[in-house]
Amino acid sequence: MTASAPKRTQLDLGIEAQPDDTTCGPTCLQAVYRYWGDAIELDEVIAETPVLPAGGTLAVHLACHALERGYQASIWTYNLLVFDPTWFSAPDVDLRDRLQRQLAYKGGERLTEITRGYLRFLELGGQIRFSPLRTSLIRKLLKAGVPVITGLSATYLYGTAREWGPKDDFDDIRGEPSGHFVVLSGYERKGRLVEVTDPLLHIPMADGHHYDIGIERVIGAIMLGVLTHDANLLTLTPKTSAGKATERTPT
């Protein structure tokens, strides 16, 4: 008799509450470090993560931090404002060249910051991937024991009003879409639910830092992350020879 496949994939991932409204990214990064047995304090990760002029950070900045600590890092991007799909379908495309040429033509402070981040990411050995965002991709990564940091639209994920002002108050008239980082840490096949590990202290639609939500809603939130310049998946795994990263058998 063939044993049935487990109905739930569950990673043992804890997370601290983010200290303020703009440190969700470093908080997620530190949670993944801790998952792999890498004991670094949250304050240190926050201090070492680049901050954008308007606050917050980018997934590529988190990835560069991990690469510099000896991890392997891959980003699945869905940000068509930065990456053209044909760069990934044509053979032997030099992403560095394309990014630099695009920046020279378009310019702009935001694109400059993003481009510099990706150029550094590639220089450090990071991998940029472009493939359909399907349930099977997320499920495959989690089944391999790899937590997934994702930059997405908090506005869509939570179903709240857009945010406005220095305190990020909800305002359905003046507000703008809000971005956020969370970690995907589990999957329930029966209900097509993904477990979200969320650093936000007060989550509008859940109690605590872990909650299940429909995978379609999460995928929609990831794709809409392009509005805040992060629509991606980021995976980090330690190298066996890494001096600072400790090898761990995923749960």
Mean pLDDT per block of 10 residues along the chain (251 residues) reads 67 96 96 97 96 88 97 97 94 94 94 95 97 95 97 95 87 93 96 96 89 96 92 92 41 35
Locate the domains of the chain by residue range: 8-238
CA dihedral 131, 135, 136, 139 (to 10 degrees): 120
For 66, the token pair is 């991990």
- CA separation for the pair 157, 215 (Å, rounded): 11
Confidence (pLDDT) at 176:
92
Instruction: Decide: 197 and 203 in contact? Cβ < 8 Å.
Output: no
DSSP state of 80: T
Nearest to 182 by CA among 214, 218, 206: 218
Helix (H) or strand (E) holding 72: strand 71-77
- CA separation for the pair 147, 174 (Å, rounded): 35
- 188 forms bridges with which residues in the sheet? 8, 193
Q: Could you tell me the pTM of the whole model?
A: 0.91
b (16+ CB within 10 A) / e for 145-162: ebbbbbbbbbbbbbeeeb
Domain 8-238 architecture:
Alpha-Beta Complex (3.90)
> 212 burial class (0-12, 13-18, 19+ CB within 10 angstroms)?
middle
Confidence (pLDDT) at 4:
52
Confidence (pLDDT) at 228:
85
Confidence (pLDDT) at 205:
84
Confidence (pLDDT) at 166:
80
Q: Which amino acid is at 70?
A: G
HSE-CB at 218 with a 13 A cutoff on CA atoms is 30
Confidence (pLDDT) at 245:
41
Confidence (pLDDT) at 13:
97
